[in-house]
A and B are shown apart, each in its own frame.
Chain A
Amino acid sequence: MSLITPDFGLLVWMTLIFGIVFFVLAKWGFPMITGMVDQRSERINASIAQAREAEKQFAEMADRQTALIEETRREQARILKEAADARDKLVADAKEQAREEASKLIQQARTQIAAEKESALRDVRAEVANLSVEVAEKVLREKLSTEDAQLKLIDKLVGEINVPKPN
């Protein structure tokens, strides 16, 4: 049976042809394809890892952002509260100051009024004294117009001087 006895010529040709095919494909064919496919799959794996990393970072960033917003809101509330406090305090201070100023002014006015009053009183008093001295002078002049009256008065005065008053 020629079917199951390998023919020598065909063996030689097959070895030669398969050898050449193997050489060509192993040198320029398959390593090119498999190498590129490997590179691409590496690249894809790297990209997936990168994407995962980016996703993680993004999630972290989002968390941080939320935290930041929260903090900012708190800060805002605090600042608003502080501002309100400061305003209240300022108003209170101003009121206090105004009150003090006013009371001081009133005090001043009061002292001034008192001084004015005093000086007015003094003037009045001096005027009254002058008037009374003038009146007294006029009265005295009227009363002592006679010699007798003058002497009588001198006597009386001298009498008063002689009796010294006890201390």
Chain B
Amino acid sequence: MKCWQLIGLGLLLLLLPLSLGAQETPDDEVDLDIQEYLFGHVGDAYEWHITTVNGHPVSIPLPVIVRSRTTGWHCFSSRHLEEGSYEGFFISTSEKYDGKIVERDASGAEVRPLDLSITKNVLGLMVNSLVLVLLILLAARWYRRHDAVEEAPKGFAGLVEMLVTMVEDDIIKECVGKDYKRYSPYLLTAFFFIFINNLMGIVPIFPGGANVTGNIAVTLVLAVCTFLAVNLFGNKHYWKDILWPDVPTWLKVPVPLMPVIEIIGMFTKPFSLMVRLFANILAGHCMILGVIAVIFLTANMSVGLNAGMGVVAILLGVFMDLLELLVAFIQAYVFTMLSAVFIGMSRQEPETE
């Protein structure tokens, strides 16, 4: 068992630089464009690039779904975009819409159609969500088939139960307070959603590797959900604290200084959630990519230097990967905990003397 784990780890280590390396060095003499290399990995794309063999990219084409203002809905494979323009749509190279699908309006200027394409991140989201739902429902099925009052689950269901009870007991019960049961499904979903997406992001090969939780649109939706959970069910005391806080009156009238600050605070809290998750995961991906890039940056130098740097880069890469495993968990934990804390604050009862 131990032996197989070691071999697996070794293979993973081998694959990690190889899969990245293959696509960046189609030719010995091509200089590595670090910016494209980085953004190509952490950004979104209309196709899922896996590797490049002999200068030919190997990628999974994904459906492009766009709605033009003039010509209506279009749905086609992203393979057509490789050759350039298709049905009037092409991938922009301009400063403003770099890498996005655009079309030309009557005046010839680039405009964005309504773009609902299944991009790399959307497919990543779908795959990860499917994995998540299957994992949790599989664990839940155990409870349906057993009398959980009489026995405790072992194996996989036990692992899920451990995580669920950890989040429920350590975060939700502690931070939300008495009616935690109402929020626990959302907070648990958020935790496992972020956790699974973070983990899948670390896996370097398809279907992992999409930078889902390092994308601001994804974290924005999560933050909005927390914002709604906090503000839709906030109690009277919470709104009074925002609109008429317990501060000297001159801070409230005639200039409503404190209420304005409090209202800004309503938005900065979820904003910080959004940015924290986004920036942490993005930075993690960039760090790993940067460390691996060292191998290709030194590829044109002497063999000894390249080999030496390669060893260093792999060791550092393993370290960064392990660190990212930790970060994947910590960020899911932090997001859930802060959401729970904000919800708890909106449910706080006034202190009675």
Contacts and interface: CB of A to CB of B under 8 A. Distances in A.
Contacts of B225: 18, 22
Given A3-B282, A9-B122, A34-B184, A40 B149 contact: yes
Contacts of A15: 221
Interface in B103-126: 114-119, 121-122, 125-126
Interface of B: 39, 42-44, 65, 98-100, 114-119, 121-122, 125-126, 129, 132-133, 136-137, 139-140, 143-144, 148-149, 152, 160-161, 164-165, 168, 184-186, 188-189, 192-193, 215-218, 220-222, 225, 282
Interface stretch (A25-33, A105-113, A134-142, A156-164): A25-33
Given A5-B216, A7-B44, A13 B125 contact: yes
Contacts of B186: 22, 26
Given A3-B282, A10-B122, A10-B218, A30 B189 contact: yes
Contacts of B129: 17-18, 20-21
B184 A33 contact: no
A7 to B, nearest CB: 5
A14 interface: yes
A25 B98 contact: no
A13 B185 contact: no
Contacts of A2: 39, 43-44, 98-100
Q: Taking each of B118, B143, B220, which has the highest tally of chain A beta carbons within 10 Å of its own beta carbon?
A: B143
Majority SS at the chain B contact face: helix
A69 interface: no
A37 B118 CA distance: 38
A24 interface: yes
B200 to A, nearest CB: 14
17 contacts: A2-B43, A6-B215, A7-B100, A10-B119, A13-B116, A14-B125, A15-B221, A17-B126, A21-B129, A22-B189, A25-B133, A29-B140, A30-B184, A33-B143, A33-B164, A34-B164, A34-B184
B216 A40 contact: no
Given A8-B114, A25-B189, A37-B161, 20 more contacts: A2-B39, A4-B216, A7-B119, A7-B217, A9-B122, A13-B118, A17-B125, A17-B126, A18-B193, A18-B221, A18-B225, A28-B137, A30-B164, A30-B184, A33-B136, A34-B188, A36-B143, A36-B148, A39-B148, A40-B149
B214 to A, nearest CB: 9
B339 to A, nearest CB: 13
B136 A25 contact: yes
B278 to A, nearest CB: 8
B221 A14 contact: yes
Give the interface size class of chain A: 20 to 34
A4 B218 CA distance: 11
Please indicate which of the listed interface residues A5, A8, A15, A36 has the most CB atoms of chain B within 10 Å of its own CB: A36
Contacts of A64: none
Q: Which DSSP category, helix, strand, loop or mixed, fits chain A's interface?
A: helix
A11 B165 CA distance: 31
Interface in A34-85: 34, 36-37, 39-40, 43
Contacts of A6: 215-217, 220
B43 A33 contact: no
Given A8-B114, A37-B165, A39-B148, A29 B137 contact: yes
A24 B137 contact: yes
Given A8-B114, A25-B188, A30 B216 contact: no
Given A3-B216, A8-B114, A21-B129, A26 B161 contact: no
Top 5 nearest A-B pairs by Cβ distance?
Answer: A26-B185, A36-B148, A6-B217, A10-B217, A29-B136
Contacts of B139: 29, 33
A30 B221 contact: no
A92 to B, nearest CB: 73
Given A25-B136, A40-B149, A8 B115 contact: yes
Contacts of B118: 13
Given A17-B126, A37-B164, A10 B136 contact: no
Nearest to B157: A33
A9 B152 contact: no
A33 B217 contact: no
B117 to A, nearest CB: 6
Nearest to A24: B133
